[in-house]
Structure 1
Amino acid sequence: MTAEITIREASDPQRTTALSRVLRSPRTRGGLLLMGLVAVLALLGPLLAPNAASAIVGSPFEAPSFALPFGTDNLGRDVLSRFLWGGRSLIIMSLCAAVIGVAIGAVLGLLAAYVGSWGDLIMMRGMDVLLAFPTVIFALLFISTFGTSVLLLVSVVAIAQIPGTARVVRGASRAAVDGEFVLWARGVGLSTPRILVGEILPTVVSPLMVELGLRLMWAVGALSALSFLGYGIQPPTADWGLMINENRNGLSVQPMAVIPPMVAIALFTVGGNLFAEGVARVIGRTDRKASA
């Protein structure tokens, strides 16, 4: 036990410096910058919008002008104002869905790897059943039954992300379950939650961060797709995915009604992926140095 405590104390400074290394990574800072810019624009956009999101300010599909920098949409509403109003719900809902889905999936994956045997088999077969349903059909099943609401949309997208995360975390933590530090923790009588959180979870931080970035990107795409299909945020509420659907028929006439939300969605998802991948690489290098 004394040797184990000595090893932990020696490795703590390595883990402490991981945060500073993360912040110095160009990939991480680039991803954080992209996400931050889009998030700030989405959160503060309504304060900067020159018009109300649903206000009719001109004829349908007017070209950009000095008074209307992005022109008008299919109903004659100010595209700039709807763009500034439309990002808040998408960003907040995507973050909530990704965090909830990854958190629940990580817990199930850790439990499956730690329990093993029949417990592992039952949980993973349950995840396989969820994976068997196509995501869009799974979402449409609940939406068509219970209607569209923010809570339902977030819940459906979060649930759809649980199986993939659980399988990734379970596979990444299997080696750690048989490690000496876990055997030591069991030997001294630590509770299962303390072993999972304090001993096994730190070993899967790297793949978990990558998974969070991928799931965030997927959540943004899924919620945008549902809005595009008409099953997400409902008009006249402004939403980036809904804007693309409403104005796609006029793309050749007034492309600015579609381009801004498309660019914003792309920048945010790419930034989230870059940030998570940068964090994972830095933590992976730190863990390898600590174990050397």
Structure 2
Amino acid sequence: MNPLIAKSKPVSSALALAKVSSGPSWLGLLGAVVCVAWLLVALFGPWLAPHPVGEVVSDNIFEGFSLTHPFGTDYLGRDMLSRVLVGARFTVGLALVAALLASTFGTGCALLSVVSPKWLDEIISRIMDAFISIPSKMLALIMVSAFGSSVTLLICTAVISYIPGSFRVARSMAVNIEALEYVQVARTRGEGRLYVACMEILPNMLNPVLTDLGLRFGYIVLLLSGMSFLGLGVQPPDADLGSLVRENIGGLNQGALAIIIPALAIGTLTIGVNLLIDYLSSRRSRRTGGH
């Protein structure tokens, strides 16, 4: 083999690795900026809205861009900027609360399952398998049909739908960690199950659990937006981003901003979350040597 070619391979490999390593940082920064921006909108949007959310401010429906109404007007002549700023609170807030609850309960059940006797582990696992076999949208439709639509019910539905997924991810990591030497040493010292679960296992699986939390957040945003688009989510006079798309569907053939803006908002939110999660996952892989 030509020695020049042989020498060039490590260099080219190093350059390729450097490009791969530097790439996700920009995407991760972009994802972080988008996520923080939407979080700020959810927190302060209602105070930044230039008009009351339900006020008709124009005689023209589906109005385009103007200095008075940067996002145009909706099918009733209401200011879309104000409605998006207020609607983001429901989308981001409900999804964040549901994701935190689903991840917390799922991880807690996983830790309980791993440190419990075999029979209890089997019962918990089989219950989770039964719930995970039900599609999330089908479960949501059943619950809304049975109990009616409300903010509390939407959160409960999303939590029940995504607890099994969080449980499976957390349990797979907890089982591997539970077999490691330092956990066995803690058991030999006579530490209780609660101590082993909370002090030995949980801290060493926290980063993957947080990554999974971000993924669940994105899934729940899409679930709640889909439910609102079907008219089964947040009910008038309140509206989330999915509701804004549904109620302005009449402007689709006109390319109205009233339907484009909330659709873009949902897209940027989910893409930003995924970019941030991909960056955190790749950073964790590089720290562990790609394993």
- Cα distance in 2 for residues equivalent to 1:164 and 1:60: 43
| RMSD, matched Cα | 2.2
User: Do structure 1's residue 258 and structure 2's residue 259 form an aligned pair?
Assistant: yes
- Cα distance in 2 for residues equivalent to 1:116 and 1:275: 38
Partner of 1:51: 51
1:260-279 alignment to 2 at 5 Å? 260-279=261-280
Q: How many residues of Structure 1 are paired with residues of Structure 2 in the alignment?
A: 267
- Cα distance in 1 for residues equivalent to 2:197 and 2:284: 19
Partner of 1:190: 191
Letter in 2 for 1:149: S
Change in Cα spacing, 1:254 to 1:46, as seen in structure 2 (3 Å) is farther
CA shift, 1:65, in A, is 2.7
Contact 1:71/1:254 (<8 A) preserved:
no
1:1-292 alignment to 2 at 5 Å? 25-57=25-57, 58-115=59-116, 117-286=118-287
- Cα distance in 2 for residues equivalent to 1:239 and 1:222: 12
Change in Cα spacing, 1:72 to 1:254, as seen in structure 2 (3 Å) is farther
Change in Cα spacing, 1:196 to 1:287, as seen in structure 2 (3 Å) is farther
Query: Helix, strand or coil for the counterpart of 1:51?
Result: coil
CA shift, 1:162, in A, is 0.4
Deviations 1:244-279 (A, max 9, x none): 001122112142101221222222222222323333
- Cα distance in 2 for residues equivalent to 1:186 and 1:288: 29
The unaligned stretches of length 5 or more in structure 1 are 1-23
- Bigger drift between 55-64 and 93-102 goes to 55-64
Structure 1 residue runs of 4 or more that deviate by more than 6 Å after TM superposition: none
- Cα distance in 2 for residues equivalent to 1:115 and 1:208: 20
- Cα distance in 2 for residues equivalent to 1:66 and 1:115: 62
Query: Helix, strand or coil for the counterpart of 2:65?
Result: coil
- Cα distance in 2 for residues equivalent to 1:277 and 1:63: 36
Contact 2:42/2:85 (<8 A) preserved:
yes
> Normalized against structure 1, the TM-score is what?
0.84
- Cα distance in 2 for residues equivalent to 1:115 and 1:284: 30
Identity, in percent, stands at 37
Query: Helix, strand or coil for the counterpart of 1:189?
Result: coil
The unaligned stretches of length 5 or more in structure 2 are 1-23
- Cα distance in 1 for residues equivalent to 2:101 and 2:163: 9
- Cα distance in 1 for residues equivalent to 2:70 and 2:208: 43
Partner of 1:12: none
- Cα distance in 2 for residues equivalent to 1:110 and 1:170: 7
Partner of 1:8: none
Change in Cα spacing, 1:268 to 1:142, as seen in structure 2 (3 Å) is same
Contact 2:53/2:83 (<8 A) preserved:
yes
CA shift, 1:74, in A, is 1.3
Query: Helix, strand or coil for the counterpart of 2:190?
Result: coil
CA shift, 1:284, in A, is 4.5
CA shift, 1:31, in A, is 2.2
- Cα distance in 2 for residues equivalent to 1:209 and 1:277: 12
